[in-house]
Structure 1
């Protein structure tokens, strides 16, 4: 694992490169169609050298999927902690989620397409028993109900799934430089989602 000049790459740098390349190869060929040899060739290293970092292709997919989930979760958790009432924070979370998705189209596609390739126990290990990502949305919706800002006839889990379903789909049609900017998409989707669950009084207070 030496560079052309004989300089050895730090493990952290090489690992980050491995994850980036594996993500791209899984995106291009799909998990089933990709091989460790494909990834090694793209990295310019021997296939056997990959085993310094991983034990199997499944392990590598697990690490790729975990990295995507961890990065996205960090974004929305940070947005959820911003000042404001639950509806404002939910709007911030949706904007953050959509913007992050638009900036990370390839990793998002791999996550959504290939998560099912992992065994059930490893999917749980990534997502957490309580589906941590979904839980951020659900928690804010529940907090909004407790404060009279979100309609009580709405099931928080169903509402969270609806928001995530519609916003996740952005990765299929968003194109950088296209008709809609990431900011515009994020703002409008967040606004539509909030208007769909807010109480009349909450809407009136927001000037809607």
Structure 2
């Protein structure tokens, strides 16, 4: 049953339908004048886009709830599609920032290990080691400076924490992609960006497993 601000329903399928309608800018449901239940109308109050919300959770009403989500997505009066795309874009940008930071932090860690090894082997080839050390140190300082620009907080998160933050952002973005309008050109671009970030994050996870 609906409760509170009329955006909450005790049935999972109807709750997903209400969440989608709210994201697409539909007005708050109102109580039906006859036959019970509630009425959900599109922003233009188009009668053909009207959805009756049932209070019971039978299988048939759950099917109606699922089919109603298609109607919400197809409605040309919806204003919230851009909002969903903005959330996806924001989450992908955040995930990209965390992944880049994790990639840099991983490179820094590998560079530190190489620097330590070069110091240990310095007795065997001091001149060559010094040259490599200088190059690696310069690269280390450059990466460390860029990483500070990306993640200015102190203490700096670990690579595991950066990867976890990126995973959370990607999971949210993927969930919103399922609700995004399928005929939007921007969705395709965002989906490609999501897939590319997923591959980069998988590389980081495999590096952490070693």
TM band (smaller chain): 0.3 to 0.5
Higher share in helix: 1
Give the TM-score normalised by structure 1.
Answer: 0.34
Give the TM-score normalised by structure 2.
Answer: 0.34
